[in-house]
Amino acid sequence: MILSKIKSTLVAAAIGVCSVAAQQPDNLAALDGNVNFIVANDLGRNGYYDQKPIAELMGTVAEQIDPEAVLALGDTHHFDGVQSISDPLWMTNYELIYSHPDLMIEWCAILGNHEYRGNSQAVLDYANVSRRWSIPSRYYARTWDDDGISVKVVFLDTTPLIEKYHKKTDTYPDVYKQDAEAQLKWLDETLSAATEDWVVVVGHHPIYAYTTKPDTERADMQKNVDTILKKHRVDMYICGHIHNFQHIRHNGSNIDYVVNSSGSLSRDVEPTEGTQFCSGASGFSVLSATGKSLSLYMIDNNGNIIHTITRNK
């Protein structure tokens, strides 16, 4: 077994830690709330790098906390997406890698920028093939309820919300076809109507983060998305794209902005404005809700909880 107990530990500088705020649960069961999710993204490397061992670790976690779903936050397929529902990458990036019995649950997916490099509609259509792959539309919302505790997760399609992708029609052929204004209107209306105990918005691209990627990506997300999130009762915004762990609090906002690391190949990171924690480790996260708290646990590829974010009522 890859992991029988989760240990808290200082994370070595070699993997690029900026700060450490680790929990000390005795075992994985300590992560178990009323409503639980595994958060994973930037996965598809045909099993190479850390993808296979992290997939096994995800299965071990799922076996003990019984998550409602995996929140799959984009770039399941590197580098050019998939061409069809029968593309072999569905096997080598996904089905044969995440084969643990306790990962045979619903995977609530969104599109990343790499999916848009291929046939993005095939990513939606694969839900008609796989019993666990779930993406009813390019953006959507779901509510989970257990013992009277409710969590709304709002799933965004962030690539069309960033201007640079619209200009690269040869590389991202499906982006210009999407109506960004319609999505933003829907987001505002969906959050206005939210009455759940906890409200989490997820997307592929960050709003605030340290990254060497163009500043225009974050600027567009801040203008288009963050202005809406700040208007409403949003607890967390969780994304991927950057391939490392980051937790940021921004002046003028009560939202916890989370970057979830890659489940296969990670990158170095440095602190930026508002950084509460960052780590260049690969891994995934667990999101857990009770009536009194919403917690996100960042878990590295060695099974250590390296940072915890907790919001209390």
Q: What percent of the chain has pLDDT over 70?
A: 90
Residues 6+ apart with CB under 8 A from 96: 47
Radius of gyration of the chain (CA): 18
Rounded Cα–Cα distance for residues 278 and 284 (Å): 13
Rounded Cα–Cα distance for residues 197 and 205 (Å): 25
Instruction: Give this prediction's pTM.
Output: 0.92
Look at residues 44, 6, 46, 47 and name the one whose alpha carbon lies nearest to residue 285.
6
More confident position, 5 or 278: 278
**pLDDT at residue 310 above 90?**
yes
Residue ranges of E strands in 2-97: 35-40, 69-72
User: Rounded mean pLDDT of 288-309?
Assistant: 95
User: Rounded mean pLDDT of 150-168?
Assistant: 98
Among the residue ranges 12-26, 36-50, 174-188, 216-230, the one predicted with the least confidence is 12-26
Compute the 3-state secondary structure of the chain and give helix, strand, coil in percent, each to the nearest 5: 25, 25, 50
Residue-wise pLDDT for 21-46, tens only, equals 333 334 566 688 899 999 999 999 99
Taking phi over 0 as left and psi of -120 to 50 as alpha, with beta for the rest, 273 belongs to beta
Please report, for the chain, how many H helices and E strands are present, in that order: 7, 14
Is the preceding omega at residue 155 within 30 degrees of 0, hence cis? no
State the pLDDT at residue 233. Answer: 86
State the pLDDT at residue 27. Answer: 56
Alpha helical stretches, state H, the chain: 51-65, 89, 120-125, 163-167, 180-192, 215-221, 227-231
pLDDT-based confidence at 12, cuts 50/70/90?
A: very low
Taken as a whole, the chain contains a residue count of: 313
| Residues forming beta bridges with residue 161, ordered by sequence position | none
pLDDT-based confidence at 2, cuts 50/70/90?
A: very low
As given in the structure block, the two tokens for residue 111 are 């599109």
> What is the enclosing helix (H) or strand (E) of 53?
helix 51-65
Look at residues 185, 66, 194, 204 and name the one whose alpha carbon lies nearest to residue 135.
204
**pLDDT at residue 9 above 90?**
no
State the pLDDT at residue 147. Answer: 87
| Residues forming beta bridges with residue 312, ordered by sequence position | 293
**pLDDT at residue 220 above 50?**
yes
Q: What percent of the chain has pLDDT over 90?
A: 88
DSSP at 227: H
Q: What is residue 124's three-state secondary structure?
A: helix
State the pLDDT at residue 39. Answer: 98
**Contact (CB, 8 A) for 221 and 243:** no
Gap between the terminal Cα atoms of the chain: 36
Residue at 206: amino acid letter: P
Residue with tokens 């990458």: 89
Rounded alpha-carbon distances, angstroms, from residue 86 to 89, 92, 123, 280: 8, 12, 11, 34
State the pLDDT at residue 15. Answer: 34
Residue-wise pLDDT for 175-187, tens only, equals 999 999 999 999 9
pLDDT-based confidence at 191, cuts 50/70/90?
A: very high
**pLDDT at residue 257 above 90?**
yes
